[in-house]
Amino acid sequence: MKRISILLVVMMFASIFAGCSNQSVQSESKKTDKVTTSESKKTIEVKLMSRWSDDQPRSVLFRKYIDEFNAQNNGIKIVAEHINDEPSYLDKLRTTFATGEQPHIFFGYGGAREYEYVKNNLIMDLEPVFKANSDWHKNFKPLFDKWQYTDMEGTYGAPVEFYAIALAYNKKIFNELGLSVPTTLDEFEKACDILLEKGYIPMALGAKDAWRIGHLFNNLFMKSYGSEGVAKLADRSMAYDSREVIDILAKIKEYNDKGYFGPNAISVDYNNEKTMFFEGKTAMHMDGSWFLGEAAQSEIAQDIGIMSFPMINEPFKDSWFGSAAGFSITTHKDKEIEEASIKVLKYLTDKQFFLGDLSASKGGIYPVEFTDEDIKGIEISSVSKSFIDSMASAKEFRDDIQTYDTLPSMLDTCRLAFQSLFAGKTPEECAKEIIAEIASR
């Protein structure tokens, strides 16, 4: 009986220890499950930089789109920084790359400005992404050339904006003075002289923002020499101190001296320039298609017409300053971040986003194709209709001319040199600054 009792006690303790051991294993198993679940649900932050911080319909929608994505709690969070001012944005972006803290996705213009980043394997080739997501990719218009380079295979960005630059004009002022819409530069100058005589600023220019002068130069150059000229400037077969360029710089200085841009254009910025147009102080306003949503919501919307920049040389009358801007993804050692960035890029460039913008802006031009069914029931503003009509005959588009240059610094160099025309420098002195930069490189 003693032996049996001892045996039962031993078996009982063995059972207890086995139970404890099993409980311990189960506990550890549960703990492991919790860790795995926690890790699988960890949030990946995708840092994004854009220029859409203003109150225009597209910018508001874009920020709302980001908020809606983050509200899904799908394991990815977009951490966005928006800087509307172009020079400030580009300076910040360059700084992030210089310090190795570049965003995972950034808004950019491709071309020479991003060539060095691509060359140094800092930007992802999106061709494999396009091939793996053909339903998404096929919606885009053929606007990828700015992110393609002759000495490298691949495509390093996707368009998020298609734009063109034209002249808005106040129909009420034009009708009041009996002015016809100018189609040539001579007619433009005659209209400006009449407007000045009647107390209007013909076309205010926010020369305090150097990019505004750069845009004016681009328009004058495209209507003079088209894409052929752009290629010649890029390969140096046309020089920045050539007669062709000097003549355009002289024309800008002449217009400023005459007062076409207002009494003191160098003290006016882009926002002041737009305000003057909306208040009826200036009869014309040079701007891009991104301006259409704001124009459609203005108090003078019904009085705004759009015209192509006036013709200078007949062969290039249908050459336009315009192109695409887009998003690029930077490379990262953490492949999960790259994959998350791809998901964010697809979300932010989905056709539904552009349709939302089309509806909010009441029209515009976009980097994706819409079917009649897509846009059925969407109200298109008279301003957008006028813009679309004005570019109906356009045959070619080119971005900022320096985008196609081999030197990444040329955009800033040229814009600042052009701005010096408004500070008293001659066209020759302005050109000399640019040539000096090229020589130093």
Tens digits of per-residue pLDDT, 260-306?
Answer: 999 999 999 999 999 999 999 999 999 999 999 999 999 999 999 99
Query: Do 316 and 332 fall within a single domain?
Result: no
Residue in 70, 65, 63, 62 with CA at minimum distance from that of residue 43: 70
Instruction: Write out the residue range of the structural domain in which residue 91 sits.
Output: 44-162+324-361
**Shared domain check, 202 and 311:** yes
Query: Which residues are registered as beta bridge partners of 285?
Result: 168
Query: What pLDDT does residue 62 have?
Result: 96
Range 57-73 average pLDDT: 95
User: Are 265 and 413 found together in one domain?
Assistant: yes
pLDDT at 35 over 70: no
Position 322 scores a pLDDT of 95
Q: Are 200 and 295 in a shared domain?
A: yes
- Whether the predicted pLDDT of 9 surpasses 60: no
Examine residue 156 and state whether it is found in any structural domain, yes or no: yes
pLDDT of residue 41: 62
Q: Which residues contact 136 (CB under 8 A, 6 or more apart)?
A: 346, 349, 350
- Is 292 inside any structural domain? yes
Taking alpha carbons only, the member of 149, 40, 140 closest to residue 369 is 140
Q: Closest Cα to residue 205, out of 308, 281, 278, 285?
A: 285
Q: Are residues 429 and 408 in the same domain?
A: yes
Q: How many CB atoms lie within 10 A of CB 405?
A: 23
CB 318, CB 394: distance < 8 Å = yes
Residue 150 forms part of a structural domain: yes
Q: Please, what sign has the CA dihedral across residues 223, 217, 59, 303?
A: negative
In-domain check, residue 330? yes
Pair (150, 272) in one structural domain: no
Phi-psi label, residue 155: left if phi above 0, alpha if psi -120 to 50, beta otherwise: beta
266/415 same-domain check? yes
In this structure, are strands 44-50 and 105-108 parallel, antiparallel, or unpaired? parallel
Round the average pLDDT of the chain to a whole number and report it.
Answer: 91
- Percent of the chain, pLDDT > 70? 91
| pLDDT of 72 over the 80 cut | yes
Residues 118-150: b if buried by 16+ CB within 10 A, e if exposed: beeebbbbbeebbeeeeebbebbeebbebbbbe
Residues 318 and 431 in one domain: yes
pLDDT at 42 > cutoff 90: no
More confident residue, 34 or 42: 42
Structure confidence at residue 352 as a pLDDT band (50, 70, 90): very high
The string of pLDDT tens digits covering residues 320-347 is 999 999 999 999 999 999 999 999 999 9
Residue 83 has pLDDT above 50, yes or no: yes
**What does the pLDDT read at residue 87?**
87
Q: What is the pLDDT of residue 165?
A: 97
CB within 8 A of 183, min separation 6: which ones? 307, 308, 310, 311
Q: Is the pLDDT of residue 13 over 70?
A: no
What percent of the chain is predicted at pLDDT more than 90? 85
Q: Are 311 and 259 part of one and the same domain?
A: yes
Answer yes or no: is 412 within a domain. yes
Query: Which of the four pLDDT bands, split at 50, 70 and 90, describes residue 112?
Result: confident
| 159 vs 245: CA distance, rounded Å | 30
Query: Global pTM?
Result: 0.81
The verdict on 221 and 253 lying in the same domain is yes
The pLDDT tens digits for 213-228 are 999 999 999 999 999 9
27 has pLDDT over 50: no
Judgement on whether residues 116 and 132 belong to the same structural domain of the protein: yes
24 inside domain: no
Based on the fold, state whether residues 277 and 189 are members of the same structural domain: yes
The per-residue pLDDT for 400 is: 94
Q: What is the domain count for the chain? A: 2
pLDDT one-digit tens code per residue, 375-389: 999 999 999 999 999
- The mean pLDDT of 46-59, rounded to a whole number, is 94
pLDDT of the residue at 408: 84
CATH of the domain at 219: 3.40.190.10
Region 418-434: mean pLDDT is: 97
For 81, phi then psi, to 5°, come to -125, 125
What is the model's pLDDT at position 15?
Answer: 45
> Where residue 5 falls among pLDDT bands split at 50, 70, 90?
very low
Q: What is the reported pLDDT for 441? A: 82
Indicate whether 338 belongs to any domain. Answer: yes
pLDDT category, 113, cuts 50, 70, 90? confident
